[in-house]
Amino acid sequence: MKIAFIGLGNMGLPMALNLLKAGHLVTGFDLVKSQLDLFTAAGGAIAPDLKTAAKDAEVLISMLPASKHVEGLYLGEEGLLANTNPKTLLIDCSTISPKVAQAVATKAKAKGFAMIDAPVSGGTAGAQAGTLTFMVGGDASDVERAHPLLEKMGKNIFHAGASGAGQTVKVCNNMILGIQMLGTSEALRLGIANGIDPKVLSDIISKSSGRNWALELYNPCPGVMENVPSSKGYAGGFGVDLMLKDLGLAVENAEGLGASVPLGELAKQLYETHSKAGNGQLDFSSVFNLK
Which residue pairs, CB below 8 angstroms and at least 24 apart, start in 10-15? 10/124, 10/127, 10/236, 10/237, 10/238, 11/63, 11/93, 11/120, 11/124, 11/127, 12/63, 12/93, 13/38, 13/39, 14/124, 14/127, 14/128, 15/61, 15/63, 15/93, 15/120, 15/127, 15/132, 15/153
Residue 197: CB atoms within 10 A of its CB come to: 11
The single residue of 51, 68, 155, 170 carrying the catalytic annotation is 170
CA distance 229 to 251: 26
* 46 and 40 Cβ atoms separated by less than 8 Å: yes
**Alpha-helix runs per DSSP H in 86-129:** 98-110, 123-129
Range list of β-strands (E), 16-123: 25-29, 45-46, 59-62, 89-92, 114-117, 120-121
Q: Does residue 245 have an active-site annotation?
A: no
Between CA 233 and CA 22 the distance in angstroms is 33
End-to-end CA distance of the chain: 50
Short-list 76, 108, 66, 102, CA closest to 89: 108
Candidates 16, 18, 82; CA nearest to 45 is: 16
What residues form DSSP beta bridges with 134? Answer: 120, 157
Q: How many CB atoms lie within 10 A of CB 34?
A: 9
Catalytic sites, residue numbers: 170
